[in-house]
Amino acid sequence: YQSSRFLVLYAPARGLARAARGELKKSFKHLPCDLTLNKKSIDIKVHFPKRKDGACVRTICSHINIMFTGVLQGYRYKMKSAYAHFPININIINDNTHVEEHNFLDEKYV
């Protein structure tokens, strides 16, 4: 638990993470669970769990950690291009915001 993390529980099964990079909302209402916020932890309670409902508790924990990582540090995506037979030409245009592919699957147009 860090002081820069901020989580608001605005319903029994919904969470909202806010930080400097923005906010993320996530709903867990498809599961019979309750989220409660303590001083240093988040409690997840599943009522009368079946096998799949009990297995989703760890998934909820992972989703909440990913939400915190996204609003605190952010993510960086990398893409690699590879070809097996036809050579692919890739251009990055519009101030590094768009990717343009040429000769994808031996096509002659953009």
CA distances from residue 67 to 17, 46, 48 in whole angstroms, order as listed: 6, 21, 27
Q: What residues contact 80, with CB distance under 8 A and at least 6 apart?
A: none
**Residue 64 phi/psi, 5° resolution?**
-65, -40
* Single-letter amino acid code for the residue at 92: I
Question: Look-up: residue for tokens 């909820």?
Answer: 60
Q: What is the dihedral of CA 55, 58, 60, 62, to 10 degrees?
A: -140
Q: What number of residues does the chain have?
A: 110
Q: What is the mean pLDDT of the chain?
A: 79
- Specify whether the CB–CB gap between 33 and 11 falls below 8 A: no
**pLDDT > 90: what percent of the chain?**
1
Mean pLDDT of 37-46: 82
Mean pLDDT of 54-73: 87
By mean pLDDT, which of 9-18, 54-63, 84-93 is the weakest? 9-18
